[in-house]
Amino acid sequence: MDSQQIRYLLTELQQGNLSVEDALTKIGTGSEKTVSTEAAQVDIDRKKRCGFPEVIYAEGKTTQAILEIIEILNSRKENILATRVSPEQAEQVCKTYPSAIHNQIARTIRIENQAEEKKQGIIAVITAGTSDLPIAEEAIETLKWMHCEVKTICDVGVAGPHRLGEHLDVIQNCDAVVVIAGMEGALPSVVGGWVDSPVIAVPTSVGYGASFGGISALLGMLNSCASNVTVVNIDSGFKGGYVAGLIAKRSNR
C-alpha cells in the first residue's frame, strides 16, 4: 500500500468509520495483486506495474459486475475510468456514486479520488470530422483520467486543408498528437508532416460503403509515409489516448 492509502485508512480509523479489525484486514491485503468478484479478477497491482490502475471495459458486463469492480478500486482511492458504458449502466453507477463524471458522447465514467497538482504533459486531440467526435471524446476522457492537459481541435480534415494550418502553433507544442479520422484516413499523415512529436492515428468506422467499417482508414494509416505516425485499432479512442498519455508522462518526468 502507498502512503496515501495508509493515511486514508488511519484517518477512517481515527474518525470511527473503520474498526481496528477491518483496518488490519485492509492493510494485510496490501501485498495482494488481485481481488476476486463473482465476475472478475480485479488487478489491484496494475498502477504499481504500469503507472495507472486497471480500466473497466463495461460492454458485455452486468451493471452489478461493474459496481463491484468500482467498489474495489474506490476502496483503494484509485482514480476510476470505465469505457463503453451504456446509458442504463451509467444511470445506476451515477446513482451509487454521485461524484461520478459521465460523458454520454464518449460513453465513459470517471471517478476522481486522487488529485494531481501538476498536469502530465500536453496532448492535442484532433478530429477530421464532427462524426469522429465520440471516439475523440473517449480519448479526451482517458487523457483527463491520466491528468494530461488536452488541446482539442475538431473538424480539420483534408477536404479543407487550410483549417489545420490555423492550429499549427498549438499542435507543434504538444508532447504527442492523437489524430482521429474515418473515410480514407489521410489526416494523420498530413499532421505527421508538421510536427516533431509522435502521432497516434485512430481510424474510425465513419464513412460510406467502401470504407468497410473503418478498414480503409486503418489500412491508409498503416501505410502512412510520415515516419512519426503509429496506429491503434478502429474506434479505439481509449487506446489512442492512453498511449499518448504514457508518452506525455515519460517526457515530463
pLDDT of amino acid 30:
53
The string of DSSP codes covering 146-177 is TT-EEEEE-S--TTSTHHHHTTHHHHTTSSEE
What order do you get walking across the sheet with 108-111 strand by strand? 56-57, 80-83, 108-111, 101-103
State the helix-helix crossing angle for 87-96 and 63-75, rounded to 10 degrees: 40
pLDDT of amino acid 115:
73
121: left (phi over 0), alpha (psi -120 to 50) or beta: left
Contact 4, 114 (CB under 8 A): yes
Q: What are phi and psi of 183, to 5 degrees?
A: 50, -120
Contact 154, 124 (CB under 8 A): no
Contact 181, 187 (CB under 8 A): yes
pLDDT of amino acid 31:
57
Cell 492523437, residue located:
178
Question: What class does CATH assign to 122-251?
Answer: alpha beta
If residue 27 lies in a helix (H) or strand (E), which one and from where to where? helix 20-28
Each residue's pLDDT tens digit in the chain (253 positions)?
566 777 888 888 888 887 877 776 666 555 567 887 877 888 888 888 888 999 999 999 999 999 999 999 988 888 999 999 999 999 999 999 999 999 999 999 999 987 776 788 999 999 999 999 999 999 999 999 999 999 999 999 988 989 999 999 999 999 999 999 999 999 999 999 999 999 999 999 999 999 999 999 999 999 999 999 999 999 999 999 999 999 999 888 7
Alpha-carbon distance of 33 to 53, in angstroms, equals 12
Contact 221, 185 (CB under 8 A): yes
Q: What are phi and psi of 175, to 5 degrees?
A: -75, -30
Strands (E), the chain: 34-36, 41-43, 56-57, 80-83, 101-103, 108-111, 122-127, 149-153, 176-181, 199-203, 229-231
Domain ranges of the chain: 32-111, 122-251
pTM to 2 decimals?
0.84
Alpha-carbon distance of 79 to 55, in angstroms, equals 10
Alpha-carbon distance values, 107 to 136, 201, 243, 249 (Å): 11, 20, 19, 25
